[in-house]
Structure 1
C-alpha cells in the first residue's frame, strides 16, 4: 500500500519547494509521486501530516569515521597545526575501541538523517562497519607523504588499501597541499587519467598553509622540524597552495576541495580558469572548532561550481549532523535561503558522489530517504530546528 507523507513544505531539492505537498512512497521507500495540494485532494488513503519541512536524506560529503574515538579529546581553537599534532599523538587506540566508536557514530549519522557519506580512510578498519551500515559510503583512501623520495612507496600502499576496500566504492585522494609532494600528486594525476577516481582534498584550512606556499614560512616549518623532515626540496612559488597545485589536479575527474576557510577571490578565479570540475565542500562546525573562523561563503556563490556540505570528524566536531552544519551556516549567512543550502546538503553531494540516480532529491523512482525538519520559520531553518528521520 502506498504511504502518503505531507508537511507544511516539501523541499524536493531538484525543484522549488511545494507548500502543503504530499510525497507518495511504496513499502521500500521509493518515491512514487510528489503531489501538490490540488492533486492530493483526490487521495482516498490516510495522509500523515507533519509540521515543518520534508527534505531528502542528507549527504555528508566529508567525514573521517575512523577518528570517532577522538570525540572530545582534542581542545578547541588551537589552530590547524596544533590540531594535527594532537591527532597524530592521540589517534592510536585499541582496535576494539576504534571499531566500537565507528559503529556508534555510523548509527547516529543514520539517525540524524544521513543516507550517504564521503569518508576519509587511512586504514582498512572502517570496512566492516561500512559493509554492515544502512548508509552508502564512498571511501577516499588518503595519500600522505610530503617527502618526494617516498612517493612511489606511499602511492603503492594507497593502491593496496583501495583494493582492500573492494567491493565497496573507493578512490585515492590526497590529504592536503602541505602533506602531499609534487611527485605524489603527479603519480595520482597519471593514475586518474586511466581510472574512475573521485578526487577529494583538504584545501586552505589554515593561514599557515598559504604562508608555506607563498613564502616558505609559518607554523608548518616548525611542524616539519618536529617530524624530522628536511624541507630543502621544497620551493615556495609566491602563490597560494591552491594556485600552486591546480595544474597537478586531474582534468577528467570530479574534484572536491574541502574546508576552503582561507580561500580568497583570486583562488576562486584561478579555479575557474583551470577549467576543472571543482566542487567546494564546507564543514563550518569543524572550521569553528579548529580555527574559530568560517570560509567567506559569499565569495563562492557565483563561482559556477557545486557546493556540498560535510561534518569532518569527531576529533574536530561535537556531532556528525548535517542539520547542525546548516544551522551554523544560517546563523552566520542569514540571507542564504534554506532551500539553497539544503540542496548543497542533498542533491549536490549526491551528484558529486555519482549516486544522484538514487539519492539527493525527491523524484519519482528514487529512494533518497526522507527527513522532517521541525521548528522552522516558514521555509527557513532556525536555531531551534530539529531533525527526524521519517524513512
Structure 2
C-alpha cells in the first residue's frame, strides 16, 4: 500500500500544534502515524502553512441554500425568521441545485462532516452521493399545545425518509427552539429517543430571554405577525436555558446553538447532567442577523465543550468553517488558535458522535487532511 508523507510548517493533530512532525497517511487517507521529520525517510511532501484534520460544521441548514442573498443582513432574529417562513418555497429543482452547490462548496472548503437541520427531506438526494458525513437533526416545531401529536408525526415522517439511507445513529428528531416548541411536543420528542443527540437554537436574541422572564420583548411582535395564539404560555421569571433544560432527558447529549445571550449564571443549570453538552458558535450568522456575538471567552473559560457551525446561506455569506474561525480570531484575538482548531475538528466530531473516524490524526482514522495556508487565508484539501 502506498503512503503519502506531509511535512507542514505546523501540524495540528486535533489536540495540539507541533512543528517538525510528518503526517503519514495511506493512499485512501487513513492515518498511519505522526513521526519526527528525522524518522520519516524519503518521499516527504513539504507543505507551507498549517495542516489539520477536516473541519466539522456542527450546525447548518443545507435545505435553505436557495435563500442566499434573499434576506438582507441585520434584520434582527424575529424578522429574519418571518422572512425564512415566507421565502423558503421555490420550485424543487431550484432548491435541489442550490443544495448540491452548497454541499460541494463545503467539501471544497475542507468540511468533512455536518450537523444538518432538516425540516424536509429535500437534502436526501444530494446527501446520498456526497462524500460529507451528515447527521440529520429533524426539527419539530409547534406553537399550539393541541397540535403537538400532529407536529410530531410530521417530523417523524421526515425522520423515516432519512432512515431509508442513513443509520439510526445519524438521525435525530429535535426541538427547533425553546420559544417555538410547546412542552407537549417536547415530551413526545424526548420519549421517542431518550439517548439520541439533540440540537436546539439557544438564546439567539435578547427577546428569547425576555419572553421567558416576562412574556414581553421582540418575540411578541413575531407571534402576532404569524397569527399565533400564545395565551397558553406563562412566563417563568427565568432566562430560557434554565427554564427548558429539564425538558430534555438527562441521557440526551445536547448541542446548544448560537448562545448569543447566554450568561455565566445560566450555565449553572447544566451542572450534574449525565450526557455531554456542546455549545455551538455560529459567529458569521450572528453578525449577519443581529451584529451581536456570544461571550465566547466566557464560554471557553467556563470549561465548556465548544464547537463551530455556519448556520445557513440565508444567514451567512458562505458555508466556511475557516471563515468562522477568522471571525472568532478577529473579535477575540486573545483566544489561542490551538483551542479554536480543536472546536472546529475533534470537538465537532465528538458532538456528532463521529470521533471514532473523524476529528483527529490518529492511527486508523480517516478524518480528511487539509492545508490552511501560511496565513490561514485559504483551505486546500490534501486528501
Contact 1:246–1:274 (8 Å) recurs in 2:
no
SS of the equivalent of 1:51 reads strand
**1:19 corresponding residue in structure 2:** 19
Contact 1:272–1:303 (8 Å) recurs in 2:
no
Distance in 2 (CA, whole Å) between partners of 1:90 and 1:156 is 24
For residue 276 of structure 1, report the CA deviation from its aligned partner. 4.8
- Residues 1:309 and 2:308 are matched in the alignment: yes
For residue 22 of structure 1, report the CA deviation from its aligned partner. 1.0
Distance in 2 (CA, whole Å) between partners of 1:275 and 1:126 is 33
- Residues 1:158 and 2:159 are matched in the alignment: no
**1:390 corresponding residue in structure 2:** 382
Distance in 2 (CA, whole Å) between partners of 1:226 and 1:217 is 15
For residue 208 of structure 1, report the CA deviation from its aligned partner. 0.7
- Residues 1:186 and 2:187 are matched in the alignment: yes
**1:253 corresponding residue in structure 2:** 252
For residue 49 of structure 1, report the CA deviation from its aligned partner. 0.6
For residue 302 of structure 1, report the CA deviation from its aligned partner. 3.4
SS of the equivalent of 2:372 reads strand
Distance in 2 (CA, whole Å) between partners of 1:316 and 1:36 is 43
**1:93 corresponding residue in structure 2:** 90
Distance in 2 (CA, whole Å) between partners of 1:304 and 1:339 is 15
Distance in 2 (CA, whole Å) between partners of 1:293 and 1:223 is 20
- Note the alpha carbon deviations across 1:5-32, whole angstroms, 9 max, x for none: 1101110013x32202111111111111
Task: List gaps (5 residues or longer) in structure 2.
Answer: none
For residue 310 of structure 1, report the CA deviation from its aligned partner. 0.2
Contact 1:62–1:119 (8 Å) recurs in 2:
yes
Contact 2:76–2:290 (8 Å) recurs in 1:
yes
- Residues 1:174 and 2:196 are matched in the alignment: no
SS of the equivalent of 1:9 reads strand
Distance in 2 (CA, whole Å) between partners of 1:146 and 1:272 is 29
**2:202 corresponding residue in structure 1:** 203
**2:121 corresponding residue in structure 1:** 124
Contact 2:7–2:37 (8 Å) recurs in 1:
no
Contact 1:251–1:277 (8 Å) recurs in 2:
no
Contact 1:61–1:118 (8 Å) recurs in 2:
yes
TM-score by length of 2: 0.96
**1:218 corresponding residue in structure 2:** 217
For residue 275 of structure 1, report the CA deviation from its aligned partner. 5.3
SS of the equivalent of 1:4 reads strand
SS of the equivalent of 2:242 reads helix
Contact 1:277–1:305 (8 Å) recurs in 2:
no
**1:344 corresponding residue in structure 2:** 343
SS of the equivalent of 1:75 reads coil
- Note the alpha carbon deviations across 1:65-103, whole angstroms, 9 max, x for none: 000000011011110001001111111100000000000
- Residues 1:69 and 2:66 are matched in the alignment: yes
SS of the equivalent of 1:374 reads coil
| Aligned-pair Cα RMSD in Å | 1.2
Task: List gaps (5 residues or longer) in structure 1.
Answer: none
- Residues 1:48 and 2:45 are matched in the alignment: yes
1:137 alignment partner, one of 116, 134, 138: 134
- Structure 1 residue runs of 4+, over 6 Å off? none
**2:107 corresponding residue in structure 1:** 110
Contact 1:192–1:250 (8 Å) recurs in 2:
no
TM-score by length of 1: 0.94
Distance in 2 (CA, whole Å) between partners of 1:292 and 1:271 is 27
